[in-house]
Each structure stands twice: as structure tokens, then as C-alpha cells.
Amino acid sequence: MKTITLKRGKEDSLLRFHPWVFSGAIATLPDGLEEGETVTVAAADGTCLGTGHYEIGSIAVRMLSWREEETGKEFYAERLANAWQLRRRLGLVRPDNSTFRLVHGEGDFLPGCVVDVYGNTAVLQAHSPGMHYARNMIAQALTELPGAGIRNVYYKSETTLPFKARLDPVNDYIIGGFETNIAEENGLKFNIDWLKGQKTGFFVDQRDNRALIETYSKGARVLNMFCYTGGFSVYAMRGGATLVHSVDSSAKAVALTDANIELNFPGDQRHTSFAQDAFKYLQEMPESAYDLIILDPPAFAKHRGAIKNAMVGYRRINAAAFRKIAPGGILATFSCSQAISKEQFRLAVFTAAAQSGRKVRIIHQLTQGADHPVSIYHPEGEYLKGLILHVE
Ligand code: SAH
């Protein structure tokens, strides 16, 4: 294995287990080093700090281990077994729940790797060249995980790998093929479209929050804005909502929502969906039409440069919801932008509340599900922020 040597004093963050080496910290790159190679990282005095995947860019190494370690199939198998044990411990592996995130990058000590499980299919997503090269080993190890029953591994990295690395990944099955795309979450069925859907096909991170919304749905008129697959809508229906409106600007998303409602509540007239722009819908909807509003928009800020516009976006949608929600209503509002902090998001929501002049209380502060663990040394892994608010 080749060794990357750091500049003097640049080993501190690694000694605190932060899993990234930034390019500015590097003193020397070994000759002939290729992007995606597994390397050891050494302090200026030669002490080995660990093993990681090298890539070209601001993050130059993603650390896999805190010692020199071979990263063959056994390595991945062990990390996956560890991740699997945690999901079992979390109570997510049940006959009525076959949908969960098995690998959450740094949070499962596999930086650059995401695996979502939908029944007997695992969707594998690489975010680094190193993980792209490891994909076959990971796929094999996934199907060999004792008790997991994973038979199909779909590789989906066309949009997540750095474009400049010219890896030209193709979205396709590495092992097995299409069997069924129906998976269960807390006893509810979902069609998961990993072939054409966003991300790995489903937003697994909202599971606990959807379950919480179910408990507030009894007798409520619900608006699920940015519905995508209709996750929140299906839970609200089971929770006893009297009416559920799902809105998404994508006609495909609306079709997915309709299919998922039909799968769980065939012929149920309480649900209607609309393919419409959120800003327009919120602007035009009548006052007091809804008792429960869910706002779960896409990441308005995909990078730091977009923070200002994103803050305006969050403020606008929340202001409209505060203005229109029925008295005594519940607003569940989210941000999945990694670049927006918890405090910034709360400021945007606070500003929107103040503009509406309504009395607003925070009743829950939410984040991603426990199958999206955050390494305490890598707080960047926490990205989902949510507030459930009571509006008088
Ligand atoms: N709440 C969903 C995930 C939402 S993802 C869940 O629990 O699974 C964000 C969704 O917002 C996408 O489906 C996208 O099509 C939709 N979207 C993006 N911009 C929009 C806009 N301006 N108006 C309405 N929907 C929009």
C-alpha cells in the first residue's frame, strides 16, 4: 500500500477520529498514486495514522480504519456485519419492516458508501472512487450476510460519484435482478422505484417522523407537501385522517403516491394528489383548509454558496403554512440540507412564524432515523432537521 504523508501538525483531526483528510493537509503524495486507491496515511514523523481511500478534490482521503489494514472482502464483510447487528438491535429487522438503511457512510465507518435495504434487494450507492472500485466485494459480502436474505444488489452511483473521476458508472444489478419492488415499513407497503426514483428510491430517513405524524392524524385534514412517494400520506391515512392531500411538482412522484395509497387503502376516497408547484399551491390554498401540514422539501442548499437563497425558500414556504393552517393546527417542517445548520433552519422557521403573528410552540425536535447514525467525531453526518409545531 502506498503512503500519503501529512504536513507537520496536520494529524490532529485524524487523532480525534475525524474521517476526512483535506488536500491542504498533505505534504507528499506517493508516485503513481491513482484516484480510488487504498492508502495508508502517515504523520510528518512517519507514524501510521490509518488506512483510507484516496481521491482528487478537497477531501483527499476518506478514512476506513485507524491502523494499517488490508481492505479486501473480509474487511467489508466485517463492517457490514457490524452495521447489520446495529439494525437488528434497533428493532428494524421485522416481518412488518423490511425497509431500512444498512450503511450510512461515515456513521457506519464506511465513508463514501450508502446501502438501503428494501426486502431482499439492497441498493448500493458509492460517493467516492474508492467505494466504486470496492463495489463488487461489497455486493458479494451483502448477499453473504447471515440472516439478511439479500439476493439482489442494485448499484446506483451514476449521479453520486465525482464527475471528474471519469468512472462512467452504470446503474445496474451487480448481483441478481428485479424480483419485487414492494417493501414494508412499519406494516405499510411501498412500491420502491430504485431504477428511476430519487436517491435510492425512498427516503428511509423519515421513517420515525412519519410514524410520529401518524399519531397526530386522527380526525385531521392533512396536507403532505413535497410528497414524493407519499410516505407521510400513507401514515396519515392509517392514523385516521379525514382527508389527505399530497402535492409534488413531479407528475411521476404523484403517480407513485397514488400507487402507494392504492396499495394500502384500495378505493379509499379520503386521498387526492396534485401535481403542482409548492409555492403556488401554498399561495393559493384557502385559509384553515388543513389541520396538519407537512413540509418536507428537497435540499434547498446543496452547497454553502446556496445558503442565502435556501433560507429565503424555507422562510417562504413556512410563512405560507403558518398563515393558512387552521387554529390549533400542527406544522411538521423539515430541512435535509447538510449546508444549513439546525440553528439556521430554526431561524428561518422562527422568522416565518413571527411574520404570521401566530402563537407557535415547538413540540418535537426531530432528526434522521437511528439507521442513519452519526459518528460523534463527524457531526457533518447529521443532516435532517425537523420541527413539529403547534400553531394557535
Ligand atoms: N417527503 C418525501 C420526500 C420529499 S423529497 C418522503 O417522505 O419521502 C422532495 C420532493 O419535492 C421531490 O419529490 C420533488 O419532486 C419535490 N419538489 C421539488 N421542488 C418542488 C416544488 N417547487 N414544488 C413541489 N414539489 C417539489
* Dist. CA 297 → ligand 1 center (Å): 5
Task: State if residue 229 touches ligand 1 by the CB under 6 angstroms criterion.
Answer: yes
What is the mean predicted confidence (pLDDT) over 134-153? 97
Q: Average pLDDT of the chain? A: 96
- Work out the number of other CB atoms within 10 angstroms of the CB of residue 303: 11
Q: Are 339 and 303 in contact (CB under 8 A)?
A: yes
* Dist. CA 14 → ligand 1 center (Å): 37
Q: Pick from 116, 191, 224, 226 the residue to mutate for probing ligand 1's pocket: most ligand atoms within 8 Å of its CB.
A: 226
**Cα 226 to Cα 250, 262, 269, 388, distances in angstroms:** 9, 19, 21, 16
Q: Packing angle between helix 251-264 and helix 231-238, nearest 10 degrees?
A: 30
Q: Which atom of ligand 1 is nearest to the CA of 228?
A: 13
- Work out the number of other CB atoms within 10 angstroms of the CB of residue 171: 15
Residue 31 binned pLDDT confidence (cut-offs 50, 70, 90): very high
Instruction: Provide the CB-side half-sphere exposure for 163 (13 A, CA).
Output: 1
> Side chain identity at 170, as an amino acid letter?
V
What is the mean predicted confidence (pLDDT) over 40-59? 97
Quote the pLDDT of residue 375: 95
Residue 67 binned pLDDT confidence (cut-offs 50, 70, 90): very high
Quote the pLDDT of residue 304: 81
User: Over the stretch 155-197, which tens digit does the pLDDT of each residue have?
Assistant: 999 999 998 889 999 999 999 998 889 999 999 999 999 999 8
Q: Packing angle between helix 73-89 and helix 135-143, nearest 10 degrees?
A: 50
Exposed e or buried b for every residue in 272-300, given b needs 16+ CB within 10 A? ebbebebeebbeebeeeebbbbbbbbeeb
Residues 6+ apart with CB under 8 A from 183: 98, 99, 118, 119, 189, 190, 192, 202
What is the mean predicted confidence (pLDDT) over 49-72? 97
Q: How far apart are CA 345 and CA 359, in angstroms?
A: 19
Q: How far apart are CA 91 and CA 101, in angstroms?
A: 13
Quote the pLDDT of residue 305: 84
What is the mean predicted confidence (pLDDT) over 351-377? 97
Task: Give the lowest-confidence range in 16-25, 71-80, 181-190, 297-306.
Answer: 297-306
Q: How far apart are CA 235 and CA 277, in angstroms?
A: 23
Q: Are 31 and 123 in contact (CB under 8 A)?
A: no
What is the mean predicted confidence (pLDDT) over 331-344? 95
Q: Which atom of ligand 1 is nearest to the CA of 253?
A: 13
Task: State if residue 283 touches ligand 1 by the CB under 6 angstroms criterion.
Answer: no
- Tell me, what DSSP letter sits at residue 97? B
Task: State if residue 248 touches ligand 1 by the CB under 6 angstroms criterion.
Answer: yes
**Cα 322 to Cα 95, 295, 356, distances in angstroms:** 39, 11, 6
What are residue 42's DSSP bridge partners? Answer: 5, 48
